[in-house]
Structure 1
């Protein structure tokens, strides 16, 4: 009996050792990048989510860059991942979307943002109305206030959702999703991740019901995202399904209001901390108003495009914000690059902070310095700047985000002043957060 038990135990040890070996040293038709796969199932997920209270490159990435170089392998939430902090590989990934790497969204729906010129007055009116309201309060949390403002505008544009007339609160479901998004993925009732999934489920159900109502009562003139979806679904050659469309809708709504509100919060924090930047930004916008025949007339598209220093401020803000700390793609087939092999089916994680905070590309990379963008293209992506994506494609809604930021800053600096009250500290886990918010007082200029 002892002999049988001994052999069974030995076999189990051999099997587990073999499993561990296969996990740590995956098979590959070539040379995998160096790195560690961590433990089976968990990989290095806990290290990836460890908090970081600075704007610097996340410690998870920085430590491995020093140990393994700019391209390394790891495992996150049970998936093998190649992490790229290499500007050339990042550029290559974006250039090859849809060919070697799986795309995140279809091109057809960028059409929904083509009417930005028509939207400009609505964006300005929304910003002006909210700033007027906030100036009557003793203080506001700029992160929460701008998130609510932008969500209302974006949801109206994309799906004609109006919080004042809807029986359900769509944004509350998104808030539940966001609060658990950066948590460890354990789906047990009571955990942040479980609440995250439930929030997403409720939001998807709401949008599915709204899409069904639109299907039953179609509109004659296309006006929002759902109109484009229904037109696409009616085509015989479409690859779109209702499920894909709803997933895309969810992503667009989330990305548009959450990322923009984070960027605006950090921008107001930087302006509060850097009076010379605020002075030059204010002068640019006051000059725009002075050139008008009627100072009270609204912003024009040409005025928006003339905001050179504003776009420098926006670029510098999003460079330091790194709101999207990782951009994931999936290798469609095996790829060879710089002597390494990326196996088919593996995830590839582009790490923008490693590029945006590289001292060989940006002098004093942790300094907020909008003037570093003078004489450069502040509207495009490059090997060294990918805050909105990069390569052949640019992030869906990039211009929409820039419009909202630029217009909000215009309304703020021309008519209001702000005073920091409390908060403003950042935390990355690895996404950007303001755990205590950023509370400010906004008051009208006299």
Structure 2
């Protein structure tokens, strides 16, 4: 038995589903074979091999909550680009804005007419007055760490065990048996990350306080809800106490809302009354066009400006040539003004709640010791009866083989969920019929396993 399941049945299901996938997707197989001649690892990015499939599934087109593959199969997409397409594939207002901008230029290293209105809307939504732009949340987090180290004169950043903030080197530190340890999977790392990165468990206020008391932490970089190690919710009162400790010890709080923007039009922090010093949002903010934003409080913005003006001339290490390009700014303006609406969020919240309740019902009927967590439009099931309280607990219950078995079963029935964990997103185009189809297939999958 494993996670309440007979493992021989799981292995038998995987064998059958792999054979079915191979038989159903000859064109994807052909394209994968051709691509392997010139693509490193056979895919545009090496992690595209980490899905549950025997070979990569090639996407032909995507719109709304669905996509079509090279073999003309249609899928309901509950992955949505792991939040990159959280508001649906090719939302019409964004598509129209891109079409208009395509004839008006892409990049010029100068502000476009959309820049001011976009910054004003970001300020209105998120409550921070000063903004800058990047091409990804990874870049935005990296830039914010530079700004805050410069502004505070402190070198260290504190993160929570099991966190994910893109490809920022500083965050690849875990607690292994309670000891901060540089992650072995980080390729080509040549300097010791633990010299400047402090890691503690999420929801552990005494550990957070002990680290902050050293007086060398520039900032705490955190998701308000941990999402990439399986969802881990803050315990009641955690963030109120944590924010007080961070302020008391002269550090700053950076909230990464790239995934938790699923919590509402102003993100989790605004919905729950948090007051971060800086905020980062990445992949969904421009409707899937590469772009990210980061904002500062007025006080922090002035400190950042002083740091830049007092520094020697030359490259700051912050910003890239294509940051805030005209194409991305046009897409972001359309997405913010016409797609990320209160009405769209209310639709997503209602569907996600139905989905979460349906998953709990299916899991309960099969008497499995699993739990379901929902944050706004984001839902996840985990292989534990009680929701994890920190990154170590979340990692301990993850089972990649079981995840891939379930994912492949659903994929062969036209349903895609997020790889690496069991996250499901709904978008404005998702329907009640879509969620019902998912729950029916999930029920059938568990029946075959139990």
Q: Which interval holds the TM-score relative to the shorter structure?
A: under 0.3
Of Structure 1 and Structure 2, which has the larger fraction of its residues in helix? 1
What TM-score do the two structures reach when normalised by structure 2?
0.26
Q: Which has the larger radius of gyration?
A: 1
